[in-house]
Structure 1
Amino acid sequence: MLILGLDPSLSCTGWGVVRAEGSRIAHCANGQIKTDAKAPMAERLAALQSGLSAIIAEHRPDRAAAEEIFVNKNPQSTLKLAQARGVVLAACGLAGLAVNEHAARLVKKAVVGTGGADKAQVQAMLKILLPGATIAGADAADALAVAIADAHLIRSA
């Protein structure tokens, strides 16, 4: 089963595709979709949708998983994140993909073993779980962690 993990953001949405077969997980691809901060909101959201649709068409995942939204102290940041997340969910829906949503703490616990893990610990564990994979950046690493957590949670359900 191919799982597309997503870490939604307006500025840089991370994505990662893993293949899950039983308890085995293998890296397929990962990357980041960046938008131009100077562009109007509608153009940024359209670029995000277009980029994600191309990734879905290229890799043809069986399902998707996204990190749940969290509330920032800054309401404007939360609103922008929600808009980007809506576009990500809509792009998956248009492609016919079911999307599981996971809290960041649950993702960290599934990948590292503790919900309080920091980004460095998650990235270190990804090197162990996905040996030889070149990860495009922090957002792509987070997306791969979401995909791996989803694979573990599917298996244990």
Structure 2
Amino acid sequence: KKPISSREAMRRTVETSPTYMQWVEQSKDDLEIAKNAIQRADIEQLGEVVERNAFGMHETMHNAVPSVNYLTSSTHIVLEAVKNMRKDGWLVWSTMDAGPNVKVLTSGDDAYRAMCQLRSRVEDGLRNSSVFCNTEYCEPKFAIALPGDAVTVSTSLK
């Protein structure tokens, strides 16, 4: 369970974070960049913009009074693993919503290999850190989510 609800975190951030409006304005530009990247199938540009925007959101929440911080030690281990994978040539980028869980953007063709590589790096990172534990709660979970069908609107009640 989150230490603070998303609704309360958002209220606090809107009301007290000095960087909130700057992040909102940047998000408008980021949305256009993301849509353009999707239309061009440019995963690198899409990855860069979603990662930057997620980090901007978490920084904005951190600047709230009192600060909102969902990121855990394990979150930082995953983020570091993604960053290091990219340094090693992997096309992977991290993104997060208001919570501690990291989502990793990569191509569908590379998803399984990237997940295996990420799992190995994260498990190594956890073993070598003070946050490693043997409970089910501390074991990282990995899943692949591929794009679904396009959005459709139905007026039928069936």
Bin for the TM-score computed over the shorter chain: under 0.3
**TM-score normalised according to structure 1 size:** 0.25
Structure 1 or 2, whichever has the larger Rg, is 2
Larger proportion of helix: 2
Larger proportion of strand: 1
